[in-house]
């Protein structure tokens, strides 16, 4: 089942349950999917990889907004953003733990022969492709940085 179909099913359930946070989040996904379809001119739909990137972008936007609100002491605005991020995250594949990410990073560093921070871009490119959709770029970057430092 495509992302668009899953979202529509969830929207029906959210409407019946009168869950406004879920409904708002699902409408954001639907809007982003439709926008992506019209921009790319993809009549047949988005690939699974494109769908994952789209959902990751939406989650990242919500989390970044929540972080800014918290910095400004606006927890009343941060809470809905985090709630929406939680609803949107349901459409992402299973996320890996930091230990699992660390194993992949160490294997990649050994395979590439990376020795210092100058090789960070090379390692990041390989690990990011390998873990696409399963790990946050910020987490991967932090682990790579700690291993190469």
pLDDT of residue 40: 66
**What are the distances in angstroms from CA 139 to CA 38, 69, 80?**
32, 21, 23
pLDDT tens profile 5-58? 899 999 999 999 999 999 999 999 999 988 888 886 656 677 888 888 889 899
**Residue length, the chain?**
149
The pair of structure tokens assigned to 53 is 């990137």
pLDDT of residue 134: 81
Average pLDDT over residues 87-95: 87
pTM of the shown model:
0.75
- Pairwise pLDDT comparison (95 vs 6), residue with the higher score: 6
Please tell me the distance from the alpha carbon of residue 144 to that of residue 110, in angstroms, as a whole number. Answer: 12
pLDDT of residue 27: 94
């Amino acid at each position: 089942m495509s992302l668009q179909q899953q979202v529509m099913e969830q929207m029906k359930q959210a409407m019946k349950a009168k869950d406004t946070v879920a409904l708002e989040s699902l409408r954001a996904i639907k809007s982003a999917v439709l926008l992506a379809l019209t921009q790319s001119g993809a009549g047949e739909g988005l690939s699974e990889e494109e769908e994952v990137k789209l959902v990751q972008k939406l989650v990242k936007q919500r989390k970044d907004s929540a972080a800014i609100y918290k910095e400004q002491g606006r927890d009343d605005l941060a809470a809905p953003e985090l709630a929406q991020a939680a609803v949107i995250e349901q459409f992402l594949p299973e996320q890996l733990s930091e230990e699992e990410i660390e194993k992949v990073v160490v294997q990649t560093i050994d395979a590439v022969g990376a020795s210092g921070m100058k090789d960070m871009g090379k390692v990041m490119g390989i690990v990011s492709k390998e873990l696409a959709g399963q790990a946050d770029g910020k987490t991967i970057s932090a682990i790579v940085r700690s291993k190469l430092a």
